[in-house]
Amino acid sequence: MFENLKVWINGKFVNWNDANVHLLSHSFSRASAIFDVMGFHETPKGTAIFKADKHIDRFFRSAELLYMDIPYSKDKIKETIKESIKKNNIKKGLVKIMGYFSEQAIISLVLDDPIDIAIFVIPETDDPELKKTEPLKACFSSWRKIHPKTVPVEAKACSNYLNGALIRREAMKRGFDLGISLTTEGYVAEGSIESVFMVKDGVLKTSKTGNILLSITRMSVLEVAKSMGIETREENLLPSDFMQADEIFSSHTGIKVNPVKQIESRVLEPVPGEITKKLLKEFDDILNLKNERFLDWLEFV
């Protein structure tokens, strides 16, 4: 599908099909890999990356949390992302940065070498994860969110996403699009790759940080809502709170705001709700340069 694309690995571009590591690489056999994903969009003034600096900062933070050394500066990573978008001549899609150990590891658990870096530029496709803009059906998962005292949940570590994959798989088997995990204490956490929000009596609510990924899109939603005069709260929420919500939506890099039309057996109406509809329009305005307050969120290529 992407055979004609170029991937930047450790300072040089290679063909898509040559972006490989050995099956016994440390990151494949020991799950020692990190990543970050950012969206880039076609605007009236050209291609722009959404919050590039924030995503790069988080990538470096993930490396720090996992005791990994990145052999490039943040400026170099950003410059290379822009170069990769131009080289592949893509107007909108996703950038995925991977940090990993390509060194083979039979027994070793800990490596001291700097990690390898790969940058992929992926065009917007018909991938269901990126095209699932229709209102979603959501359920609560029986799988609990990883506890923050076991691994750093704020890191975008590949190993953490086994938890998300199980949550998504279970939801799909039950006939739902979105599985929502709970913390080990029983509070609402997040989806597999999504933050979740609810609205009750005009107040926008979402889970507190500490047990969830520090989602850049989540923080953007909160900031945009506050700028619109919408009251926002970050608090411990129970499944029963979501079951009584007036509106529910999810958010992630690919889809900034995605309405939820059903939570377990309860159908929500109307969908999207009033506040969700306002946020959908506001993000559309931001990405089309119609809202000057948030122009600095876009890094032009």
pLDDT in tens, 71-95: 999 999 999 999 999 999 999 999 9
Asked whether residue 116 falls in the same domain as residue 147, the answer is no
Span 128-168, pLDDT tens digits: 555 556 899 999 999 999 999 999 999 999 999 999 999 99
Instruction: Show the CA angle centred on residue 290, arms to residues 92 and 131, nearest 5°.
Output: 35
Pair (95, 155) in one structural domain: no
Distance CA 73, CA 213 (A): 23
Cis peptide before 272 (omega within 30 of 0): yes
Provide the greatest CA pair distance for the chain: 56
Helix then strand then coil, in percent of the chain rounded to 5, is 30, 30, 40
- CATH number of the domain residue 199 falls in: 3.20.10.10
Does a structural domain hold residue 294? no
pLDDT tens digits, one per residue of 180-235: 999 999 999 999 999 999 999 999 999 999 999 999 999 999 999 999 999 999 99
What is the spatial distance between Cα 177 and Cα 256, in angstroms, rounded to a whole number? 16
Q: Give residue 119's domain range.
A: 6-125
Helix H or strand E encompassing 56: helix 52-65
Q: What is the CATH number of the domain that holds 36?
A: 3.30.470.10
Number of domains in the chain: 2
Q: 39 and 120: one domain? A: yes
